[in-house]
A = this chain, B = another copy of it.
């Protein structure tokens, strides 16, 4: 595989790695080439991205490489995020919100356990959109922050109280499991029938 092909695959891998990023070791492994070549190609890519007709760049943190937008374009990107089309919550944010709504108060780590994926971004989004808020700290190691839904959450979903939610939510300790399961399903059915 020639250098330009390698470069294209590495750009694709960097792109697809998203927020998780990718290490030199991983790239070397996937492409079956040595780390020095990977580093060399990353340098080439970085150089390409410096050109002022390019809008992306490579950032490196703790040996993990990510693609990112250029800081000088943040003004435009912020504008895009603020336009109506983009205000729709992402799939990740919706998932996270559903989990928080059902299981509040809940820590980020607990959310991540359920989603099976890092969730700091969606939590951040939900916080910034005032859909969730901090609810004190959990009395465990590290005293992690607990999150719950906010008043705006109710407004957003056109609810008058949390009780109107398909509740796996607040009374989980007291509710017996069976009852809860029935409730879940009753709600799910209701939703289904609405379709």
Binding site for B on A (CB under 8 A): 3-5, 7-20, 22-23, 26, 29-31, 52-56, 67, 69-70, 73, 76-77, 79-81, 83, 85-86, 88, 90-91
Smallest beta-carbon distance A188→chain B, Å: 14
User: How far in angstroms is the closest Cβ of chain B from A24?
Assistant: 12
Residue from the list B8, B29, B85 in contact with A55, Cβ < 8 A? B8
A8 partner, pick from B12, B14, B52, beta carbons under 8 A: B52
Q: What 4 A-B pairs are tightest by C-beta distance, nearest first?
A: A11-B55, A12-B55, A4-B53, A12-B73
A12-B55, A14-B55, A16-B81 given; name 4 further pairs at CB < 8 Å: A3-B53, A4-B52, A12-B69, A19-B91
Q: How far is the CA of A90 from the CA of B53 in the complex (A)?
A: 31
Docked CA distance A169–B9 (Å): 34
B53 touches A5 (CB 8 A): yes
Q: List 15 A-B contacts (CB under 8 A).
A: A8-B53, A8-B73, A9-B73, A10-B55, A11-B55, A13-B76, A13-B80, A14-B55, A15-B56, A16-B69, A18-B90, A20-B90, A26-B83, A26-B85, A29-B83
Determine the main DSSP class of A at the interface with B. helix
Task: Please name the residue on chain B nearest to A91 by beta carbon.
Answer: B19
Give CA–CA (A20, B91) in the complex, Å: 10
In the bound assembly, the distance between CA atoms of A179 and B88 in angstroms comes to 36
Are B76 and A9 in touch, CB under 8 angstroms?
Answer: yes
Which residues in B have their C-beta under 8 angstroms from that of A77?
12-13, 16
B-chain residues with CB within 8 Å of residue A69 when the two chains form the complex: 12, 15-16
Whose C-beta in chain B lies nearest to the C-beta of A54?
B8
Task: Give Cα A12–Cα B29 distance, bound, in whole angstroms.
Answer: 29
Report B-chain residues with C-beta under 8 Å of the C-beta of A22: 80, 85-86
Nearest B-chain residue to A17, judged by Cβ: B80
Contact B20 A55 (CB under 8 A): no
